Amino acid sequence: MSRTLAGEAMLFVRAARARAYVRIVGSFREPNGLLADAVFPNLGMCAFVMMYRALGAPAYYEALAVIGGILTTYWVNVLWGMGAQFYWEKQAGQLQLYFAAPCSRMAILAGMAAGGLLASMLRSLVGVALAVFVFRVQLEPFSPWHLAAVFFATMAALYTLGMIMASLFLLYGREAWHTCNAFMEPAFFLSGLYFPIRTLGAFGAVAAALLPLTLGVDALRQVLLGVRSPGLMPVRWEFAALCGFAVLYFFVARWSLRHLENLSKREGRLTQRWQ
Amino acid sequence: MSRTPDVQAPAVETRGLERRYPASRGAPEVVALAGVDLRIERGEVFGLLGPNGAGKTTCIKILNTLLFPSGGEARVAGFDVVREAQEVRRRIGLVSGGENSGYGILTVRECLWMFSQFYGVPGAVANPRIDQLLKVVDLADLAHTRINRLSTGQRQRMNFARGFVSDPEILFLDEPTLGMDVNAARMLRDFVLAWVRERAGRTVLLTTHYMAEADQMCDRIAIVDRGRVLACDTPATLRRSVQGGQHVELEVRDGGTDAAALEGAIGVPVAWGAPHPERGTRTLKFRLPEGRVLGQTLRALEERGISVQGVATRETSLEDAFIHIVGRTLDDDAPGGGA
């Protein structure tokens, strides 16, 4: 019976690893799914690249659309693979098995996040390969350390936001589903995934900057495109804001999970299917 | 840091356990548990027997820390299910019949491994245990088959094995053999009994719809209905509670006479059993008190236009005791029952 801090930490790691394993195996085990999940979703990004090319837009617009397209991968995974996952688990009657187990709920979510991140990486690598080898999109020389720092800060902010969304599904069913839907297209628009964010104007850009996706897109563009992509604010500020969002969201998710778990147990909705 | 477990504490103890679902959206308040008192000792196989809506699953959910009680108290292994839920979860396992655990993309072995990790079981312990369980549930040959390729029965058996991967102190089996074929159900019942016998202090709380299963497996049975425990004792003592008389089962051809009208006609409580569509008959069950002659009862039925096709008398069964205590069969729905 593991009751020490080390025992608790080991339980967390084991549970997170096991949950991540499902995601990773799920992505690579079915060749059809691989094509559908990793290749076809990049066609939307390709369409934007070709549109900018057809319009004779400056070359950096193509790179801008590629970066946006790659981040779209992760945002979709956060919404439907993280946020909505507990909805599926609940429908299948599996959620109760997680909640009757001694592992931390945060371990399950961390496993879902890590697995989703790794699984989405394949799709984003296909996107990068299409951009570099097919469309010959040009990037500026960049520091891999800056890229890694900004990328992982963005991922941390996005996936901790996904954890908060997941907690909503403990109590709500279809209502939270609509929330996920509501986050989808508006976030695509406000984050300027396929166009320069400054096009939104000063007020729009300030409002958009409240979304971690916007800051991540903007920071990655600044790192990869240099002066060709003037940012909303300096990269280091955006990096700091993303780290801040990640920490804030983590604690909100933890509180939200505990609060909504208790509320759903009180109302009897934790194990209620088909709501 | 957690409290030291009390090894003398009963496996499960509830006092005045209540669970109410408040009225909402036009639906009336539902009282799923209305003051349940239970004490299950370590090493027991204990059955909860009751019709649909009796409150069995609600009780299991509370004991598994998945639902808060509205009143009263529940302890598992000496720990409060609300205030010390984490300590409870370390010691329990749950198997619900008909559940869909695991992910279709995983193999049977991977799925069992995944659940063992949620309980922190080290790989060196989990892997041989999984091998053994796969043999028990007759899935060793399918260990590397994806779950989405299993039949319903095979999946049921995998779910059953899942409940044992953490080797829990207290195992909750909620209709575990639901939908299983006869041989598989028998094999699993034998395994549960051996599991309890071979491991000192292991306890099983079983809910089931199958009387014979409860009779065969359980050391003690609590009969619950409408959120209350109506009786709690060994199966033999419960059977003895139905004293004297003769247990009669008639196969009758009937146009749909209700039980209340029949009771008026023959003067004893009756219950309808399973229909026999191929013969167009149903089974009518009742206990004929001592001193009453069966022939008179048969004539009373014939006078009401009920044609008796066959007669059987037998020893008191657990089902008789159940009908005697609850007032209806296990398959009859409870009016206004809980979850």
Q: Are A232 and A209 in contact (CB under 8 A)?
A: yes
Cβ neighbours of residue B217 under 8 Å, at least 6 residues apart? B45, B47, B189, B192, B193, B204, B206
The residue in chain B having the minimum alpha-carbon distance to the alpha carbon of residue A8 is: B120
The yes-or-no verdict on residue B337 having pLDDT over 50 is: no
What pLDDT was estimated at residue A2?
Answer: 46
Show residues of chain A in contact with B119, CB under 8 Å: 101-103
Question: What Cα–Cα distance (Å) separates residue B111 from each residue in A202, B90, B173?
Answer: 51, 20, 19
**Residue B325: inside a domain, yes or no?**
no
Say yes or no: B201 and B267 in one domain.
no
B191 belongs to a structural domain: yes
Helices (H), A172-229: 174-190, 201-208, 212-225
Helix A105-129 and helix A59-76, axial crossing angle in degrees, nearest 10: 150
C-alpha to C-alpha distances, B159 to A11, A94, B147, B223, B326, nearest whole angstrom: 22, 11, 11, 26, 32
Q: Which of B19, B92, B120 sits opposite A103 (nearest CB)?
A: B120
Closest alpha carbon within chain B to A271: B66
Indicate the residue type of A171.
L
CB contacts under 8 A, A 6-45 vs B, are: 7, 10-11, 14-15, 17-19, 21-22, 25-26, 29-30
Nearest to A270 among B66, B99, B146 (CB): B66
DSSP conformational letter for B242: S
pLDDT of B318: 84
Q: Which pLDDT score is estimated for A225? A: 86
pLDDT, tens digit (0-9, with 9 covering 90-100), for A220-251: 999 988 877 778 889 999 999 999 999 999 99
Query: How many residues would you count in chain A?
Result: 275
For residues B289 and B152, membership in a common domain is answered with no
pLDDT of residue A90 exceeding 60: yes
CATH code of the domain in which B18 resides: 3.40.50.300
Of the candidates A17, A18, A100, the beta carbon closest to that of B89 is on A100
Q: Which phi and psi (to 5°) does residue A168 adopt?
A: -60, -30
pLDDT band with cut points at 50, 70 and 90 for residue B5: low
Query: What are the phi and psi torsion angles at B174 (to 5°)?
Result: -100, 100
Cα A160–Cα B105–Cα A80 angle in degrees, nearest 5: 30
In a domain, B72, yes or no: yes
Helix (H, G, I), strand (E, B) or coil at B247: strand
- Are residues B189 and B51 part of one domain? yes
The average pLDDT across B75-93 equals: 95
In a domain, B323, yes or no: no
Contact assignment for B94 to A96 by CB distance below 8 Å: yes
What is the rounded CA–CA span in Å between residue B103 and residue B112? 11
SS3 state of residue B53: coil
Last residue of a domain, one of B239, B262, B281: B239
Q: Answer whether A271 touches B (CB < 8 Å).
A: yes
CATH number of the CATH domain containing B254? 3.30.70.260
Residues B45-71 have pLDDT tens digits of 999 998 888 899 999 999 999 999 999
Check if A190 contacts B (Cβ < 8 Å): no
3-state secondary structure of B12: strand
Pairing of strands B246-253, B92-96: unpaired
Query: From the CA of A93, how many Å to the nearest CA of chain B?
Result: 6
Distance between CA atoms of residues B120 and B122, nearest Å: 6
| Confidence band of B331 (pLDDT split at 50, 70, 90) | low
Residue of B65, B99, B103 lying closest to A93 (CB–CB): B99
Q: Has residue B333 been placed in a domain?
A: no
CA distance A196 to chain B (A): 40
Yes or no: say if A95 and A271 are a contact pair by the CB < 8 Å rule. Answer: yes
| Separation CA B45–CA B220 (nearest Å) | 7
Rounded to a whole number of angstroms, the distance from the CA of A24 to the nearest CA of chain B is 10
Distance between CA atoms of residues B171 and B191, nearest Å: 13
CA nearest to B166 within chain A: A101
Same domain, B129 and B247: no
Q: Does some domain include residue B2?
A: no
Show Cβ contacts of residue B303 under 8 Å, excluding neighbours closer than 6 positions. Answer: B265
Number of domains in chain B: 2
Contacts of residue A263 in chain B, CB cutoff 8 Å? Answer: none
Same domain for B289 and B174?
A: no
In chain A, domain spans: 8-267
pLDDT at B134 over 90: yes
Give the distance from residue B163's alpha carbon to the nearest chain A alpha carbon, in angstroms. 10
Contact B103 A97 (CB under 8 A): no
* CA angle at B251 for the pair B246 and B253, rounded to the nearest 5°: 135
Look at residue B334 and tell me if it is in a domain: no
Q: Domain check: are B229 and B255 in the same one?
A: no
Does any CB of chain B come closer than 8 Å to the CB of residue A146? no
A266: which chain B residues are within 8 Å (Cβ-Cβ)?
Answer: 68
Residues B268 and B126 in one domain: no
**Domain, as residue range, for B121:** 12-239
Tell me: do B167 and B106 sit in the same domain: yes
The pLDDT of residue B335: 46
Whether residues B198 and B154 fall in one domain: yes
- Supply the ipTM of this predicted assembly: 0.86
* Cβ <8 Å between A25 and B99: no
Mean pLDDT over B121-128 rounds to 96
Give domain status of residue B329, yes or no. no
Domain boundary among B205, B239, B273: B239
Share of chain B above pLDDT 90, in %: 51
A104 in B contact zone (CB under 8 Å): no
Task: Indicate the pTM of the whole model.
Answer: 0.83
pLDDT digits (tens, 9 = 90+) for B225-282: 999 999 999 998 888 877 667 788 889 886 667 778 888 888 888 888 878 888 888 8
Question: Given CA atoms A262, A263, A265, A270 in this order, what sign does their dihedral have?
Answer: negative
Structure letter (DSSP) for residue B55: S
Which residue among A26, A29, A100 places its CB closest to the CB of B66? A100
Q: Which residue in A2, A92, A99 is closest to B66 by CB distance?
A: A99
Answer yes or no: do A15 and B113 touch at CB < 8 A.
Answer: no
